Structure 1
Amino acid sequence: MTIQSFGESSGYLSESRRKITYFSNSYVLGLTVVAGIGGLLFGYDTGVISGALLYIRDEFEEVDRSSFLQETIVSMALVGAMIGAAAGGWFSDAFGRKKATLSADVVFALGAIVMAAAPNPYVLIVGRFFVGLGVGIASITAPVYIAEAAPSEIRGGLVSTNVLMITGGQFLSYLVNLAFTEVPGTWRWMLGVSGLPAIIQFFLMLFLPESPRWLYMKKEKSDAVAVLSKIYDPFRLEEEIDQLAAALEEEGQRKTRVSYLDVIRIKPLRLAFLAGAGMQAFQQFTGINTVMYYSPTIVQMAGFQSNQLALLLSLIVAFMNALGTVLGIYLIDHFGRRKLALSSLFGVTISLIILAMAFLLQPSDSVTGVYGWLAVLGLALYIAFFAPGMGPVPWTVNSEIYPEAYRGLCGGMSATVNWISNLIVAQSFLSIAEATGVGPTFLILAGIAVAAFIFVAVFIPETKGLSFEEVERIWQERAKGNRGVGDVPDKREPLL
């Protein structure tokens, strides 16, 4: 049965689904925005360090002399994020998405205070680690919380709102960077104010409910129904409860203890994880955080030496990132996850080639000229293609492809892959650029983008508009090897 025929045979359900829009339920939208502040923390931390690093180098001579120390200041947050994502997946499954989010806020705020007060680069690195822990936890709990509260028809767009908050946080960080360029203690203000969104989210989150699906699977059915009744009309509510009841019954027939080894042993789960983790790895290895962490540095490499001008040009890049994500929110539930990722990767490849050519063709003794502006154009095109597709798609796909019992666990493992990949890129970009040149470095990223295109074309199914249970059946069919990408299997067939 194809996706289209399923929709045609759904009777009342197909009619009700067409009536659901992003703004039709203010309660769901409120949950999404508050949970999405976790994405704002993620984005702000990603963007702010790129500008702060320019002034940290000015204050600490040992940082200015060492590319390795600069990379460590940037990437220590990623080490923390790796640990936070791995622990956050387990924590959110065991204690709930809400408690995990509250914990992330506390840890992030603590890290922001340590960074702002750091007397030397090494205390700063400790603060970066704590901030990373908070970001890592938030990176898994925010999209899962949103996905589990969202109707399936608009789930992609609402989860992508979390990515909009990430890109919005990056844009905000560049605004803050510019605002503090003439203020004493420049970088301390840049890094310290990052704790404010965490504090705001903590207090707002106290008034929000736990994820209804998590509550139901933990057999707190009355609380789950109370939350779901604020999301769905009575007819749709009954169907959602029936689906949750069936899922709970199936979970009861499985092993009661969820194990990391299950991800290796159970073939449908293994296929889902490989797809999700692959998307997360390629998101980073195609260079997005090379651009976001080092965009002012890249601009200076292209010949624009002024710190303020480098930050201003980077602000334009960050604005395009946020604007592109808004487009992605619309496209992801209309165009589909798979097509959006493929078109995004095609454009990313072309943009990286333009960036590489700008540096390869620029004379070594050249000051800013046509090739410097060509590099800025390449950065802008890269963001324009990346932001609507490979920005939101990996997070959306990972929030919806895993069975309920494994959603936090696999989501955390996949997010950890993202942060490990992010760490590798952040810790190696400057060193590789020094060893091989900036142009060849961008050519390497272009080659990876081609590999990512092939991976998506071969391994990623279309999940647009499907329920969690329908997505789960896709992997069951893939494991059997008897259905194509995007097909919805017969509802009578068993799940994992």
Structure 2
Amino acid sequence: MEGGVHEVDASAFRECFSLAWRNPYVLRLAFSAGIGGLLFGYDTGVISGALLYIRDDFPSVDKKTWLQESIVSTAVAGAIIGAAIGGWVNDRFGRKTSILVADFLFFVGAVIMASAPNPTLLIVGRVFVGLGVGMASMTSPLYISEASPARIRGALVSTNGFLITGGQFLSYLINLAFTKAPGTWRWMLGVAALPALTQFILMLFLPESPRWLYRKRREEEAEAILRKIYPANEVEGEIQALKESVEAEIREEGSSEKINLIKLLKTKTVRRGLVAGVGLQVFQQFVGINTVMYYSPTIVQLAGFASNQTALALSLVTSGLNALGSIVSIYFIDRTGRKKLLIISLCGVVLSLGVLSAVFHETTSHSPGISRQETAHFAAYSCPAYQSASATGWDCMKCLKASSPDCGFCAAAADKLYPGACLISNSTVKDLCHGENRLWDGDCAMDCEL
């Protein structure tokens, strides 16, 4: 019942489908716990689309990028805390209790966000959701690993990873579905309460992890669960194996011999394994995938697709490929090997980042210019910073960076790529610009594209 490395191949997945008919109880355990992975993916992905409409409802969020960043990043900060305390909660109170606590945090966070009257409470709700994400990210795969038969354990644990990326894809679909609904972002964020409530109810009727029960000397309860998981001809062997494993673990914990970390780090195989394992986790974050997932619709708007609905629809491509990648990796990991699959993936990451960098550079270096004549057309609302400047080298991007007061770009009436006007950024000027059938950009660079 160890939760270490488990091989995943096609036979394991075929065994899963076979087991669904022979013993659906195992799949009930695995997929009930796997809802935690789905919530993890949903709550990390849903903010990307909701943010577009939050900016529309709260002018302060629209004007202050640090508020947008806070709304997004506080969930990550909460996840760090949730993961840190999750290990202690798992060992002290059990895997089942940890999942129930995570569901409670997910539910409370979703309700707070859906009803938030201001950005402050929205951030508080994101913190609650982040705490749930942190606990679920470590508890769900642990519970699945300890409550599933050894021969299909790897396949079932792998489904948790797929549910995370699947949850992100689902969040984009939900975002797109609620674009026409009253309240838009409140529905997008609040709907996460439903799977959290569903998992909470399901877990109330499911048992604790048999391994944790053995650790707490509740052998009879653990054995009763194992008899439901394993066939009659295998259960006695599994009970004995679990008993020996737990006893060996307890002996090691009580041993007076301390682990010499310096000596371990001097061991070449240990050091290389540590660098590879930790390094991959670090670089997986440093490549910027979270930025793309959290701000995908905003990035699409930077490319010139001003419509929120269009931006969300195009962002489905990103989340869909992300989910597809998890399926492809599960299929090929034992056919091509870990190293080759990793190198291929990294080549794709480098190519994608290169393309993104080139596009952003071209966008900022070829922005429409600022015209004195166009700006004079709105003389009463011209940007003070532009009026006091020498007026040489000003373009859309430079206008948007002006402050005290903030300024916005009103595109030329003939063509949005022609030089436009640099004006004070407020709702009155925005309406005035739109009234002449011009494009207005007062925050991001959606109108400053090639």
Partner of 1:460: none
Superposed displacement of residue 218, structure 1? 2.6
- C-alpha deviation, 1:48, in angstroms: 0.9
Task: Calculate percent identity across the aligned residue pairs.
Answer: 58
Q: Is residue 292 of structure 2 the alignment partner of residue 298 of structure 1?
A: no
Q: Deviations over 1:216-250 (max 9, x none)?
A: 23332222222223333345434433332222232
Shift of 1:81: 0.8
Partner of 1:255: 253
Return closer, same or farther for 1:18/1:145 CA change in 2, 3 Å cut-off: closer
Q: Contact 1:23–1:29 (CA<8 Å) still a contact in 2?
A: no
* Alignment correspondent of 1:157: 155
The 10-residue stretch of structure 1 (317-326 or 130-139) with the greater mean CA deviation from structure 2: 317-326
Letter of the 1:325 counterpart: S
Alignment length, in residue pairs? Answer: 353
Aligned partners of 2:12 and 2:155 also within 8 Å: no
Change beyond 3 A, Cα 1:328–1:244 = same
Q: Which amino acid aligns with 2:294?
A: Y
Q: 1:162 to 1:55 in 2, by over 3 A?
A: same
Q: Distance in 2 between matches of 1:338 and 1:150?
A: 28
| Mapping of residues 206-355 of structure 1, within 5 Å | 206-256=204-254, 267=264, 276-332=277-333, 335-355=336-356
1:242-264: CA deviation from partner (whole Å, max 9, x where unpaired): 33222223223223499xx9795
1:162-213 alpha-carbon deviations (Å, 9 max, x no partner) = 1221112111111111121122211111111111110000001112121222
Note the C-alpha offset of 1:60: 1.1
Aligned with 2:305: secondary structure?
coil
Shift of 1:20: 6.9
Please, which runs of 5 or more residues in structure 1 have no aligned partner? 1-6, 8-16, 368-432, 439-496
Distance 1:42 1:362 in 2: 34
CA, structure 1 residues 125+253, in 2 after alignment: closer, same or farther (shift >3 Å)?
A: same
For residue 30 of structure 1, report the CA deviation from its aligned partner: 1.9
Of residues 105-114 and 166-175 in structure 1, the stretch that sits farther from structure 2 once superposed is 166-175
Pair 176,252 (structure 1): closer, same or farther in 2 beyond 3 Å: closer
Q: Could you tell me how far apart the structure 1 residues matched to 2:301 and 2:156 are? A: 36
For the Cα contact (< 8 Å) 1:154–1:333, is it kept in 2? no
SS in 1 for 2:114: helix
1:71 alignment partner, one of 56, 69, 72:
69
Task: Provide the C-alpha distance between the structure 1 equivalents of 2:247 and 2:121, rounded to a whole number of angstroms.
Answer: 50
Question: What is the rounded CA distance, in whole Å, between the counterparts of 2:184 and 2:12 in structure 1?
Answer: 50
Residue equivalent to 2:190: 192
SS in 1 for 2:28: helix
Q: How many Å separate the matches in 1 of 2:93 and 2:260?
A: 21
Between the aligned partners of 2:333 and 2:241, the Cα distance in structure 1 is 24
Relative to structure 1, the CA distance from residue 175 to residue 22 in structure 2 (aligned partners, 3 Å threshold; closer, same or farther) is same
Q: Cα gap change, 1:148/1:111 in structure 2, threshold over 3 Å: closer, same or farther?
A: same
Confirm or deny: 8 A CA contact 1:176 1:190 kept in the other structure.
yes
Q: How many angstroms apart in 2 are the aligned matches of 1:20 and 1:212?
A: 25
CA distance in 1, matches of 2:364, 2:67: 29
SS of the residue corresponding to residue 185 of structure 1 reads coil
In the superposition, the TM-score normalised over structure 1's length comes to 0.65
Q: What amino acid is aligned across from residue 96 of structure 2 in structure 1?
A: K
| Equivalence map 1:1-12=2 (5 Å) | none
Instruction: Confirm or deny that 1:23 pairs with 2:17.
Output: yes
Counterpart of 2:105 (choices 104, 107, 121) is 107
Q: Kindly name which structure, 1 or 2, has the bigger radius of gyration based on alpha carbons.
A: 2
Q: Does the CA-based 8 Å contact 2:13-2:155 persist in structure 1? A: no
The answer as to whether partners of 1:20 and 1:154 remain within 8 angstroms in 2 is no
- Summarize deviations over 1:425-471 as a string: whole Å, max 9, x none: xxxxxxxx99xxx9xxxxxxxxxxxxxxxxxxxxxxxxxxxxxxxxx
Partner of 2:169: 171
Query: Structure 1 pair 274/209, CA: closer, same or farther in 2 (3 Å)?
Result: farther
Cα distance in 2 between the residues matched to 1:234 and 1:331: 34
Q: CA deviation at 1:28?
A: 2.3
CA distance in 1, matches of 2:165, 2:365: 34
Query: Aligned letter for 1:241?
Result: I
Please provide the CA RMSD for this pair: 3.1
Question: 84-93 or 27-36: which moved more?
Answer: 27-36
Could you give the per-residue CA deviations for residues 321-341 of structure 1, whole angstroms, max 9, x where no partner exists? 223323333334555555443
Aligned mates of 1:237, 1:345 — CA distance in 2: 43
Q: In 2, distance between residues paired with 1:350 and 1:273?
A: 27
Q: Given that residues 100 and 137 in structure 1 are in contact (C-alpha distance below 8 angstroms), is that contact kept between their aligned partners in structure 2?
A: yes
**Separation (CA, whole Å) in 1 of partners of 2:249 and 2:168:** 40
